């Protein structure tokens, strides 16, 4: 099974709201990722967790806060977002660093 799940599927939030995106995988993968994807563009890497530790932060604004509670879960906490943060947020996992990544279906985020 190569399934990564993400919730919610859609999210609409105001600029003063706090919300969280959730990602889960049960493949025993030890690397997990957050990406942001704008329409008609490739995914842009935001964060990488390796063995539950944050290993890469691609200079993401602090209004995005990742969390890895355990080896199967990855959260992305959102606070005080801007309309330009509206995008598809993708989670991915891989069995090890630099191997193939398996993506979830994404959360479509709209900031109003």
Partner 1 sequence: AQSVTQLDSQVPVFEEAPVELRCNYSSSVSVYLFWYVQYPNQGLQLLLKYLSGSTLVESINGFEAEFNKSQTSFHLRKPSVHISDTAEYFCAVSDPLSARQLTFGSGTQLTVLP
Q: Which two tokens stand for residue 11?
A: 């999210």
Give CA separation, 5 vs 16, 58, 74, 105, in Å: 27, 23, 10, 7
Site string for partner 1, 17-56 (x = CB under 8 A): --------------x-x------xxxx-x--x------xx
Q: What's the CA gap between 101 and 93, in Å, rounded?
A: 5
Residues 12, 15, 54, 99: which binds partner 1 (CB under 8 A)? 99
Q: Which residues bind partner 1 (CB under 8 A)?
A: 2, 4, 6, 31, 33, 40-43, 45, 48, 55-56, 58, 90, 92, 94, 97-106, 108
């Amino acid at each position: 099974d190569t399934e990564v799940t993400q919730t919610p599927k859609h999210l609409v939030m105001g600029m003063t709201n706090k919300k969280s995106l959730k990602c889960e995988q049960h493949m025993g993968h030890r690397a997990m990722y957050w990406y942001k994807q704008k329409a008609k563009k490739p995914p842009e890497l935001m964060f990488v967790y390796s063995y539950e530790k944050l290993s890469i932060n691609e200079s993401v604004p602090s209004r995005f806060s990742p969390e890895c509670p355990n080896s199967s879960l990855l959260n992305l906490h959102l606070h005080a977002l801007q309309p330009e943060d509206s995008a598809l947020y993708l989670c991915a996992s891989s069995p090890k660093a630099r191997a193939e990544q398996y993506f979830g279906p994404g959360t479509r985020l709209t900031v109003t």
